Amino acid sequence: MSILNNNPAAVDASAPELLLDQHVKYIQALDTKKNDLEYWLTEHLRVNGLYWGATALQILGHPEALDQDQIVEYLVKCQHDNGGFGGHIDHDPHILSTLSAVQVLITYDRLDAINVDKVVDYIISLQNEDGSFSGDSWGEVDTRFVFCAVMCLNLLKRLDDKRLDIPKTIEYIVRCRNFDGGFGSSPGGESHAAQVYVCVGTLTILGALNHVDADQLGWWLSERQLKNGGLNGRPEKLEDVCYSWWVLSSLSMLRRSHWIDSEKLTKFILESQDTETGGIADRPGNMPDVFHTNFGICGLSLLGYPGLVAVDPVYCMPRHVIQRIGLTDKH
């Protein structure tokens, strides 16, 4: 069985090529940028950064480019007694870094290195009475955290945990649905493509997509494509490579990704590559970073760009990994 995209899409002849080797080198070099101000300011995102880098390399077909044993060893150190993972050693546990850690460990098939029961306890402890989830014990609530929780539990095959209130979880997500068909971060919050991704992802995993008007939402998502091919996250905002992922994955879960112009989007992502340093920026001409590099590459994979490893639209992990753990039957 091939792990590559089955039906590579046609690519506009005028589009630049994918700088695959340069992107691999860019990601490998990230941890050597010790003099960058950005580097230490993003310390709290170190575990998320590992997930972005490791996933991009998987999709590029170069999983060996990072030392997996060292990464596992590091992640283990980020787990706290309560089961959650911090964004870095000595940082408080948070659901965002917990999901990233679990995603990387599953990609590497190394769940044996951590205490899974405790991760489950931690996630469950963050559910609120109304079905929502807090990001940590300090109480910030956001639909992103619901998705982190549900995805994490499903990846760990613990969605059947009796302590999880699935009907309330669904109810909360539905309360965050807006008049334009999209979803926000909380009930009444403005529709935003990234929040749409997390809400549609949650409903997909919970088998509750019937709560979505797929035609209305599909149209709202399609409206995010601008004339230059790029996608924005909200009306009248600038296009940004990361929305290639949030919008396209959502359309893909709704089975409507063919509603947008994929050739133009492919070209837009490729034009956002940094031809000197490797890596992908938010839009052409800007500085690349690992976040946009990952979501640009995953977007290209979802678009069927030739030679890339297939990505799963729900989990944003290699599809062969999701198949290996037996989770492809639901979508």
Partner 1 sequence: MSSDEDIPFHKQPKWADIVPIPQDDGPNPLVPIAYTKEYSTSMNYFRAICRSQEQSERAFELTTIVINLSPSHYTVWHYRQTLLKALNKDMTQELEWVQEMIDEHPKSYQIWHHRQVVVDHMSASAFPAATVSTTPSNLHTVPMIPYLELSESQQKAAQEAVQTELNCIAQALVEEPKNYHAWSYRQWVLSHFGLGPWWEEELGYIDELIAVDVRNNSAWNQRYFVVTLGPKGLTDEVLEREVQYAKTKIERTPNNESPWVYLTGVLRKASHPLSEIKAFCEGLLQKPNANFSPFVHSTLLDIYEQEAKQERRADSLLKAKEEAIILAEKVDTIRERYWNWRKNQLKAIAVEA
Enumerate binding residues for partner 1 (CB under 8 A).
31, 34-35, 37, 39-46, 50, 66-67, 70-71, 73-74, 77, 86-92, 94, 130, 136, 138-140, 175, 178-180, 184-192, 218-219, 222-223, 225, 227, 229, 234-237, 258-261, 264
CB closer to partner 1 out of 220 and 245: 220
H and E: helices and strands count for the chain: 14, 0
Task: Let me know: does 44 contact 88? Beta carbons within 8 Å.
Answer: yes
Q: Which amino acid is at 309?
A: V
Smallest gap from residue 188 Cβ to partner 1 (A): 5
CB closer to partner 1 out of 30 and 205: 30
Smallest gap from residue 134 Cβ to partner 1 (A): 10
Smallest gap from residue 154 Cβ to partner 1 (A): 25
CB closer to partner 1 out of 178 and 252: 178
CB closer to partner 1 out of 290 and 322: 290
Smallest gap from residue 213 Cβ to partner 1 (A): 11
* Maximum separation of any 2 CA atoms in the chain, in Å: 54
Burial 319-329 (b: 16+ CB within 10 A, else e): bbbbeebebee
CB atoms within 10 A of CB 187: 15
Task: Let me know: does 61 contact 307? Beta carbons within 8 Å.
Answer: yes
CA torsion sign for 250, 254, 257, 259 is: negative
CB closer to partner 1 out of 92 and 161: 92
Smallest gap from residue 225 Cβ to partner 1 (A): 6
